[in-house]
Amino acid sequence: MKYKSFNAVVVGSGVAGLTAAINLAKANINVALLTKDALSDSATNIAQGGIAAVMNPNGDRAETHLADTLSAGAGLCDGEAVRILVTEGPKRVMDLIDLGARFDLDQSGHLAKGREGGHSFARVVHAGGAATGREVERSLINFLESVNVEVLENYFALDLLSGASGIKGLRAVDPSGDFTEIGADFVILATGGAGQMFPLTTAPLQSTGDGLAMALRAGAACADLEFVQFHPTALAVDSQPKPLISEAVRGEGAFLLDHRGKRFVDELLPRDIVSRKMAERMAEESSAELFLDVRHLEGFARKFPNLYEIVKNEGFDPAVDLLPVAPAAHYLCGGVLTDPDGFSSLPGLCAVGEVACNGVHGANRLASNSLLDGLVSGKRAAERIALGKRKASPSGVFNAPVLHLEDWLTNPDPTSAESTVAGGTHMPLVYIADMTAGDLRGRAGKEFYAGGKDDFLTTFRRTTGRYLSMSRSREGLEAADGETEDLLAALPGELNRNEAEVANMILAAKALIAAAFQRRESRGAHIREEFPLQDGRYGVRLVHGAKDILSGTVSDSL
């Protein structure tokens, strides 16, 4: 076993992790940034549309951005977190410009702003048309080189190390395959989502739920895991991940067509609604894809050069061909439950970006709020760490009322739950499951796993695709629970990186199943076939882990 030690270790190198590491270094904190592949291998690097922020307002206001975010979030956002996001966001975009990021400008030299689904104004700043993430990643990595951050590439984080006073570091596999213990007062998870657990996803190969699974195993509170956002327009071609065709293209006027060539939905509604309408139309037509029509758009190649390349490489001419598209898993709205500074229920453990659930996304993230969230939460976490705090804010989300679901459902007060959002306070929390038993060891032996990771993943993704995608049912969730249990049992006893990624995805799926099972309604990105309507009684957040904290028995320790 090798050892290293830092004040803080950031895991993950997308916008949130890079922002946290840079700001920690600026505050003279001894910080390492660990990432399982190369620095630029992140979801940020392939993010397209842009960053939603009210810059040069022109009639738009932070209040309107707030209202749009709450509306897309379908009643489950944390009002305080969203207010922070929309008010601090524009300053963080300016910080990025100061670091050297180059965003697209309009003809008068101001930031060009695009429109995306669920936004009442054109407020999405972008770079290279729809190659915004690449520019964000480039500028942050470029700046990272000028500050004092120890970069540990090709290190795979296995698990958190806990002590009596909270998290004290993590265990990783280094590039030569040796185990390394990295001691740290703070671990900042910035590991992104878990899109790779689905057969159809736009998420990069790195999105295997590692940070989420580490947090679940350590007993950190994790919330809203039933809300997996499906992006309406993944290019329906034979690759994993699927190439995304940015929502910005619909913002420019592209149409969604069915097989009869008919439009069937307002293309600029929030993503969950558009994806749901697409699923319905695909079921009616018994088809696996619909079409995006960009043929009438002026200057598609000039405005979206990266998308032009993508579709050309797949053999389509956007001036002539309809582009086959289908909804694909895109973003995990839930994650490690945190306050707006990214502080979790475990002292010393922070989470920022997609792996976190700070309440800004609710049941369905508003388009282009994710890079924004990474910038805002990454900086806030670093600032609070620099103050020497190790615990979450006592007045924050962990101070929310804790409900027992069965009691609540028999004696609900929906108005009090829904009004917490409007009043800027926190949604009630309902404890549903303890996932700490999902340890990182397989249970039986290699027999079933003998076909290797690819065969095993195909089997796993058949389960997630069939039962855990946009529409879920009690029967399907029970089947998925059994099938994922069998898969866990079949993993070998000692896991290498590939196998650990699979184990992490299975644990993320099991947490999703537990939450989806309990949420007997349809809301945002979660659809239950037996309960097609939103039910005001479920205006609560379903939480895994940290039972003792959530039941109030150790709340003084926060």
So which residues are the catalytic ones? 271
Binding mask 367-406 for ligand SIN (x = CB under 6 A): xx-x------------------------------------
Indicate if the alpha-carbon torsion angle 210, 40, 179, 459 is positive or negative.
positive
**What gap in Å lies between CA 14 and CA 75, rounded to an integer?**
28
* Residues of span 116-135 touching ligand SIN by CB under 6 A: 130
**What gap in Å lies between CA 240 and CA 481, rounded to an integer?**
24
CB count, 10 Å around CB of 38? 12
Cα dihedral value 442, 444, 447, 452, nearest 10: 0
If the CB atoms of residues 173 and 326 are measured against ligand SIN, the closer one turns out to be 326
If the CB atoms of residues 117 and 396 are measured against ligand SIN, the closer one turns out to be 117
CB count, 10 Å around CB of 52? 30
If the CB atoms of residues 344 and 358 are measured against ligand SIN, the closer one turns out to be 358
If the CB atoms of residues 248 and 509 are measured against ligand SIN, the closer one turns out to be 248
Minimum CB separation from ligand SIN for residue 49, in Å?
3
> How far is CA 188 from each of CA 105, 220, 342, 353, rounded to the nearest angstrom?
34, 13, 8, 10
**What gap in Å lies between CA 394 and CA 375, rounded to an integer?**
23
Under the binding rule (CB under 6 A), the answer on residue 247 touching ligand SIN is yes
Under the binding rule (CB under 6 A), the answer on residue 267 touching ligand SIN is no
Among 45, 48, 206, 207, binds ligand SIN (CB under 6 A): 48
If the CB atoms of residues 306 and 518 are measured against ligand SIN, the closer one turns out to be 306
Minimum CB separation from ligand SIN for residue 352, in Å?
17
Under the binding rule (CB under 6 A), the answer on residue 169 touching ligand SIN is no
Q: DSSP letter string over 298-346?
A: TTHHHH-HHHHHHHHHTT--TTTPPEEEEEEEEEE--EEE--TT-B-SS
Among 2-10, 240-248, 372-380, 384-392, the segment contacting ligand SIN (CB under 6 A): 240-248
Among 184, 248, 346, 507, binds ligand SIN (CB under 6 A): 248
CB count, 10 Å around CB of 245? 26
Cβ atoms of residues 208 and 198 within 8 Å:
no
Among 77-85, 107-115, 241-249, 540-548, the segment contacting ligand SIN (CB under 6 A): 241-249
* Residues of span 431-470 touching ligand SIN by CB under 6 A: none
**What gap in Å lies between CA 212 and CA 230, rounded to an integer?**
19
If the CB atoms of residues 43 and 512 are measured against ligand SIN, the closer one turns out to be 43
Among 217-225, 246-254, 332-340, 517-525, the segment contacting ligand SIN (CB under 6 A): 246-254
Minimum CB separation from ligand SIN for residue 247, in Å?
3
Cβ atoms of residues 333 and 361 within 8 Å:
yes
Cβ atoms of residues 359 and 426 within 8 Å:
yes
Binding mask 187-226 for ligand SIN (x = CB under 6 A): ----------------------------------------
Q: What is the 3-state secondary structure (H, E, C) of 338-386?
A: CCCCCECCCCCEEECHHHEECCCCCCCCCCCCHHHHHHHHHHHHHHHHH
Under the binding rule (CB under 6 A), the answer on residue 51 touching ligand SIN is no
If the CB atoms of residues 217 and 365 are measured against ligand SIN, the closer one turns out to be 365
- Amino acid at site 78: D
If the CB atoms of residues 49 and 327 are measured against ligand SIN, the closer one turns out to be 49
If the CB atoms of residues 6 and 331 are measured against ligand SIN, the closer one turns out to be 331
Residue 314 dihedral angles phi and psi, to the nearest 5°: -90, 5
Structural element, H or E, at residue 464: helix 453-467
Indicate if the alpha-carbon torsion angle 487, 488, 492, 497 is positive or negative.
positive
Minimum CB separation from ligand SIN for residue 12, in Å?
17
Minimum CB separation from ligand SIN for residue 123, in Å?
13
Minimum CB separation from ligand SIN for residue 9, in Å?
27
Indicate if the alpha-carbon torsion angle 503, 162, 152, 357 is positive or negative.
positive
Minimum CB separation from ligand SIN for residue 370, in Å?
5
Any residues with CB less than 8 A from the CB of 167 and at least 6 apart, and which?
A: 160, 161, 184, 186, 187, 218, 346, 347, 348, 349
- Amino acid at site 421: V
Minimum CB separation from ligand SIN for residue 150, in Å?
31
CB count, 10 Å around CB of 424? 13
Minimum CB separation from ligand SIN for residue 460, in Å?
24
Among 17, 49, 209, 545, binds ligand SIN (CB under 6 A): 49
Q: Judged by CB under 6 A, how many residues of this single chain contact ligand SIN?
A: 9
* Residues of span 309-368 touching ligand SIN by CB under 6 A: 367-368
Strands 290-293 and 541-544: unpaired
Contact positions toward ligand SIN, by CB under 6 A? 48-49, 130, 246-248, 367-368, 370
